[in-house]
Amino acid sequence: MSQHTIRIFDTTLRDGEQSPGCSMTIHEKVRLAQQLDRLGVDIIEAGFPAASEGDAKAVQAIAANCSRPVIAALARANCEDIRRAGVSLEPARRSRIHTFIATSDIHLQFKLRRSREEVLEQACLAVEFARTLADEVEFSPEDATRTDPDFLCQVVREIIAAGATVVNIPDTVGYTIPTEMHRLVSRLFEKVDNIGEATISVHCHNDLGLAVANSIAAIEAGARQVECTINGIGERAGNASLEEMVMALRVRQDALPFTTNINSTHLFPTSQLLTEITGIQVQPNKAIVGRNAFAHEAGIHQDGMLKNRLTYEIMTPESVGVPETKLVLGKHSGRHALRSHFERLGYQFSTFETDRLYRKFTDLADVKKEITDADLIALVQEFHQQTKLSA
């Protein structure tokens, strides 16, 4: 794999499903996993087998039905969780056990009630055991961005020595900011002498709205795997949005010379499928896949779009699988957009006629949020009727 290729680790089926209201049946999980396969994600985190029998069966079903990507299963750093993950992953052509334990002092003191030394020993034993059950082992020091940096370096060094092939740096509570994330990952590359033996990953939450920005900062510092979800779903405020992450790298090649294996034309269909399965609608102004992402109402914007799409779109809707750009008619729309809509409906008007229709249109737009084709046809019929009466 090129040093400039970023591996996309999708955790929609694990972290994403932990969102309230986003639970899925086994059939739904397999259906979404197959779409993630078509999308081109490198790793699918299929679930947390120790959480329930249903999760274990879902991981097994996904492993049996998706042969291209690596299939990962989450496990706490204990033998029983890891054993269950290994059993669920048996049908996978390429398997990964993703094991984790918290390393920040606040988690050690209040959640685990264990010392740093005890946690480090448990983590290394977990990684060693996982290596006997899967092709790859990923380890996450939970709450890494609030962990003492020197201790984090020690954990990463010893975990790699124990056999971890991927080390993930989670911003578990979405606390860090991009400059801090860049500094932390850079420090790992400077201080951990065996870091070249593993892939460094990052898993950012969006509590401060910085998950994608923090992920980009980590990539710039040397991370080569990003963990994300479709539509950015996940615990609390969600995870780094896969579609935003991928398109940021694609659109800003001048500043971010990295590639992914994602087929971006499947981004919108994948988003739509997740919405269909969960019933959770995407916010209208959501980047890339929101219904307004390629919609333009302001007259100045619409005029520019009709002249050259590059004036107000930095990517084409087709590049992410959106059927078409929408020029939405509302009270902010201009004459150019109105005439374009009339022409689409088969009407041709002079400049004088368009001006008269535009005045009627703005009166209607003041009382209706969005003007439909039926409204336009009614306007035209009324206009023709009044023209006949005044003739």
Mean pLDDT of the chain: 90
Confidence band, pLDDT 50/70/90 cuts, at residue 315: confident
Q: Answer with the residue of higher pLDDT: 373 or 382.
A: 382
* 230-257 mean pLDDT: 96
* Predicted local confidence at residue 348, as pLDDT: 78
Q: Which domains does the chain have, with CATH numbers?
A: 7-278 (3.20.20.70), 295-390 (no CATH)
Q: What is the mean pLDDT of residues 378-383?
A: 81
% of the chain exceeding 70 in pLDDT: 91
Task: Report the 3 state secondary structure along the chain.
Answer: CCCCECEEEECCCCCHHHCCCCCCCHHHHHHHHHHHHHHCCCEEEEECHHHCHHHHHHHHHHHHHCCCCEEEEEEECCHHHHHHHHHHCCCCCCEEEEEEEECCHHHHHHHHCCCHHHHHHHHHHHHHHHCCCCCEEEEEEECHHHCCHHHHHHHHHHHHHHCCCEEEEEECCCCCCHHHHHHHHHHHHHHCCCHHHCEEEEEEECCCCCHHHHHHHHHHHCCCEEEEEHHHCCCCCCECEHHHHHHHHHHCCCCCCCECCCCHHHHHHHHHHHHHHHCCCCCCCCCCCCCCCCEECCHHHHHHHHHCHHHCCCCCHHHHCCCCCEECCCCCCCHHHHHHHHHHCCCCCCHHHHHHHHHHHHHHHCCCCCCCHHHHHHHHHHHHHHHHHHC
Range with lowest mean pLDDT among 61-70, 107-116, 367-376:
367-376
pLDDT in tens, 244-289: 999 999 999 999 999 999 999 999 889 988 988 898 888 889 999 8
pLDDT greater than 90 at residue 79: yes
| Averaged pLDDT for residues 55-82 | 98
pLDDT tens track for 320-379: 987 665 556 777 778 888 888 777 666 778 888 888 888 888 888 888 777 776 777 778
- Position 391 pLDDT exceeds 90: no
